[in-house]
Amino acid sequence: MIYMYKVAVVGDKDSILGFKALGIDAFPVIDKDEARRIVDTIARDNYGIIFITEQMASLIPETIERYNIETIPAVILIPSNQGTLNIGMDRINKNVEKAVGTNIL
Amino acid sequence: MDRMDYIQAVTRTRVLETRLLSRARLERMVDAKDMEEVFKVLGETEYANVMGGLTRDEEYEKILSSELKRVYKLMYEIARDRVVVDLLALKYDYHNLKVLIKEKLLQRDFEDMYISIGSMDFSKVKMDYLAGNFRDMDPKVREAIEEVEKDLEINEDPQRIDILLDKYYFEHLYKLAESTDIPLFIDYVKDLIDLTNIRTLIRVKKQNKDIKFLEEVVVPHGKIGKDDIVLALNDSTEGIAAKFKSFDVGPDIRKGLEAYQESNRLSEFEKLMDDYLMDINKPSKFVNFGPEPIFSYVLAKETEIKALRIIMVSKLNKLSPEDIRERLRDLYV
């Protein structure tokens, strides 16, 4: 049987609501406790990819770090409507370096 | 409708009008440095009553919705004929109908999407609908629901739920306005239909849909004939502005379309649309015998709440005061 994973997005309401139109489940959160709880809950609920705004992720670095070593779900950082903090791109660069041995981006 | 029935209602509304937010107060909120300051200004107004128990900035929506609910409840009490308030409350009924039908279709619970304002007792409509009991429903609502369900079986296209219900909404709204025989209400609905149709026309043009689709989504009963709007599909934006310039909404359509051409966005058009509909209500301030001031007051409150929402959302997302001002609607006072 082909297993279908779901996709989620976590962040402040105004940044993420548009994702709903794409069929992605949006979870608006306000503070870090809520963010941590939501990420932990949905990680166990069949979500393959969790997008999270950089602003929110910067508040819960330990939680994000914890999912780095797990295959599923993949936690991906995206900029919010306040612009980017560059941590998302940094992470991608670091992963590319790990995979290829040099930064080819 | 006897105009003399409204002497006391108008007097009460006049008192309420004095509590509407002034432009100066809104400006203070626009220039506030954060949400806390916005709340502080708001606490000096009649909103103070609904601001209790607020723990986080993001809960602003609670203040706005309880205020709106309070206004509708009060105005239903004040108005001698419910239809005066129904004219503005009807949109919430149809919003709830959309939620209800989709809820049943998807077998999911959208409880938090319902708006507890409306011209009818919606929990009863919901119960009747889910039980398949259509007998006690308003015949117009019943017809709308039956039509939507029939269409869903044939086309299986969820977008059609919204299209059909919007159509029935305007039909229902027009019938309500017509039944009052009050020129302001009929004008308001007709102008609202015209402006909505023009906005639809622009959107359909932008999406490159065909004339058949446009014919489906344009609503009748406006001052501008339905066919005139449908046939304008292939006109340029300047052509459309010229074609409708002799209508009441003409000048605003022209301004709105000019802004659209510049920015490729309809937000300015929508602002002008709201401003126009507020503007035709301003003469109500000088009506002392009749239902107009009641209607205009409810509309003024809706506009005020919309303005507050714009300010608060913008503050939370750190938009500059200039950006907020550009989006802010005209007020009644």
Based on the domain organization, do B92 and B176 belong to the same domain? yes
Task: With beta carbons less than 8 A apart as the criterion, state whether B184 and B277 touch.
Answer: no
The residue-averaged pLDDT of B34-40 equals 89
Domains of chain A: 6-100 (3.40.50.10580)
- B187 confidence band (pLDDT: 50, 70, 90): very high
Q: What is the number of structural domains in chain B?
A: 3
Determine, yes or no, domain membership for B72.
Answer: yes
Based on the domain organization, do B162 and B97 belong to the same domain? yes
Range of B43's domain? 1-81+302-333
Residue B206 has pLDDT above 80, yes or no: yes
Residues in contact with B122: Cβ distance below 8 Å, sequence separation at least 6, in sequence order: B93, B96, B114, B116
Based on the domain organization, do B285 and B205 belong to the same domain? yes
What is the DSSP code (8-state) at residue A3? Answer: P
Q: How far apart, in whole angstroms, are the C-alpha atoms of residue B64 and residue B221?
A: 32
CATH value at residue B313: 1.10.132.50
Tell me which residue has tokens 């449908």. Answer: B230
Conformational region of residue B210, where left means phi above 0, alpha means psi within -120 to 50, and beta covers everything else: beta
The residue-averaged pLDDT of B55-74 equals 89
The residue-averaged pLDDT of A73-91 equals 85
**Residue of higher predicted confidence among B54 and B293:** B293
pTM (2 decimals)? 0.86
Nearest Cα residue in chain B from A82 = B317
- A1 confidence band (pLDDT: 50, 70, 90): low
Based on the domain organization, do B74 and B21 belong to the same domain? yes
Residue B280 has pLDDT above 70, yes or no: yes
Based on the domain organization, do B193 and B260 belong to the same domain? yes
Nearest CA among B276, B275, B272, B274 for reference residue B258: B272
Q: A residues 66-105 near B, CB within 8 Å?
A: 81-82
Q: Say if the Cβ atoms of A14 and B313 lie within 8 Å.
A: yes
Based on the domain organization, do B113 and B16 belong to the same domain? no
Residue B58 has pLDDT above 80, yes or no: no
What would the pLDDT profile of B240-266 be if each residue is shown by its tens digit? 888 888 888 888 898 889 888 888 888
Determine, yes or no, domain membership for B266.
Answer: yes
Q: How far apart, in whole angstroms, are the C-alpha atoms of residue B314 and residue B31?
A: 11
Determine, yes or no, domain membership for B277.
Answer: yes
Based on the domain organization, do B209 and B268 belong to the same domain? yes
pLDDT at residue B193, as a whole number:
95
Asked if B318 is an interface residue toward chain A (Cβ–Cβ < 8 A), one would say yes
Residues from chain A contacting residue B56 (CB–CB below 8 Å): 30-31
Residue B61 has pLDDT above 60, yes or no: yes
pLDDT at residue B243, as a whole number:
87
Residue B107 has pLDDT above 80, yes or no: yes
Q: B residues 30-59 near A, CB within 8 Å?
A: 56, 58
Above 0.90 for ipTM, yes or no?
no
Torsion sign (Cα): A43, A47, A48, A51: negative
- B67 confidence band (pLDDT: 50, 70, 90): very high
Q: Say if the Cβ atoms of A82 and B316 lie within 8 Å.
A: no
Residue A105 has pLDDT above 80, yes or no: no
Q: How far apart, in whole angstroms, are the C-alpha atoms of residue A34 and residue B31?
A: 30
Mean of the per-residue pLDDT values of chain A: 87
Determine, yes or no, domain membership for B147.
Answer: yes
Determine, yes or no, domain membership for B297.
Answer: no
Which of B180, B203, B218 is the endpoint of a domain?
A: B180
Determine, yes or no, domain membership for B145.
Answer: yes
**% chain B with pLDDT above 70:** 100
Please provide the DSSP assignment of B55-99 as one string: -SGGGHHHHHHHHHHHHHHHHHHH-SSTHHHHHHHHHHHHHHHHH
R_g over Cα of chain A:
14
Tell me which residue has tokens 């989709």. Answer: B102
Mean of the per-residue pLDDT values of chain B: 90
Determine, yes or no, domain membership for B295.
Answer: no
Q: How far apart are the first and last CA of chain B?
A: 27
Distance to chain A for B235, nearest Cα, Å: 31
Torsion sign (Cα): B299, B41, B319, A91: negative
pLDDT at residue A63, as a whole number:
87
Based on the domain organization, do B219 and B270 belong to the same domain? yes
Determine, yes or no, domain membership for B5.
Answer: yes
Based on the domain organization, do B143 and B131 belong to the same domain? yes
Q: B residues 110-139 near A, CB within 8 Å?
A: none
Residues from chain B contacting residue A14 (CB–CB below 8 Å): 313, 316-317
**% chain B with pLDDT above 90:** 50
Residue B152 has pLDDT above 70, yes or no: yes
